[in-house]
A and B are shown apart, each in its own frame.
Chain A
């Protein structure tokens, strides 16, 4: 057993659990959070997604010992943030949204895509150090944070519920990105 200390939805917690118990099961069995999937046994349903140190992560792939001093945000808590309100606004504007079965999973995947496009835009300076010894092949992908249709399709492979088509997923991602830039949701 391991004595864990971590932050869940802004509350500091201490807990004794088995080292390898998955986060998704800790949330359900030890913390009585029953809004998320516990374990789909490798079916990759995506319904256990949480923010783990701000990064969208599958809770069933995180063992307890990795939680030490980390921050976990479940979807219920994510719903209180400006990032969620941005995505929600676009669902309303376009009158398209994921079905209740995968609403949390798909919304957190949008969050992952939007976070990734933001970091890409701000990465140039840190990468220069590494790249200075290489021939620049003219591939400066950091000029603008691009969201590509094929990327969107791939990212949603971990939420296989067919309630939305690729065109809809793409449209939401693009519009949410524009909205974040316009409203300076950082």
Chain B
């Protein structure tokens, strides 16, 4: 059975964790356990379970005016509760959409970003929020830490690219405000992740001109798509966008997705196209910035 005798180690500090991992290539981090406990053949006979829950430092949230640092062992519910007054709706909607309250009590931020083969909504949303992650390489003699943009954790198939022995220590979420945000999750991510489609979108608007666009489309079992080129093309566009422009852009994006990601169904592509059209069509000129600039003259 998958739970037959396993060695278990529960370090209480990062230094202790480092000492354990340096001498061990078969350590498996155990965070909330919602993924690990659901997998039949994930744990191998020789694996040692490394329980991260006693390392206080990994469960901390700190902030300044520009960003919030969230330790990898912070649960999705804790981030949702504490984040209510700090984050914009895009991240809150994404967290609300993650499983159910009962399971969110257990899901950790590190675990949600480090499942080997399935991507839900959090990586996509955090990617377009300019989030960076701190990685700690625990396999080296000296503790090596580096920050990388969150989307660099994955390839286009959505597969995790970090080596065994590397800990995602924390994420740094930037607190920039955007004028327009949308989050959609279509389908049943719990029971039918293979037909689910998730879109995270945000844009900045300067009066009637689009001046910043970030979008990520996630297909949980096939991959993630972030379009920098098309986002670049939209910069400077006059609002509201015409119907024909929204159709052209949505077709470009879906053609790009078909080229980059394999295994997506025709239905997912069609839904994706229509959702992008409706999001683009909804972006309106920024009345507030128009009024401010009129007041200046």
Contact = CB atoms under 8 A, between A and B. Distances in A.
Contact of B102 (A18, A130, A155): A155
Given A61-B33, A133-B65, A160 B191 contact: yes
Contacts, number: 97
Given A19-B49, A60-B37, A63-B37, A157 B100 contact: yes
B148 interface: no
Contacts of A112: 101-102
B2 interface: yes
Contacts of B2: 20
A65 B5 CA distance: 12
A41 B82 CA distance: 33
A44 B5 contact: no
Given A56-B102, A57-B106, A22 B3 contact: yes
B25 interface: no
Nearest to B32: A61
Interface residues of A, number: 43
A158 interface: yes
A151 to B, nearest CB: 8
Nearest to B35: A61
B146 interface: no
Contacts of A133: 63, 65
B103 A58 contact: yes
B8 interface: yes
Interface in B202-251: none
A20 B7 CA distance: 9
A15 interface: no
B296 interface: no
B53 to A, nearest CB: 8
A134 B102 contact: no
10 contacts: A19-B49, A49-B102, A56-B102, A112-B101, A113-B101, A130-B61, A131-B86, A154-B100, A155-B101, A155-B102
Given A18-B6, A61-B34, A113-B101, 15 more contacts: A19-B8, A19-B49, A20-B37, A25-B3, A55-B105, A57-B106, A62-B37, A63-B37, A116-B101, A127-B85, A137-B85, A151-B101, A157-B188, A158-B100, A158-B190
Interface of A: 1-2, 18-22, 25, 41-42, 44, 49, 55-58, 60-66, 109, 112-113, 116, 123, 127, 130-131, 133-134, 136-137, 139, 141, 151, 154-155, 157-158, 160
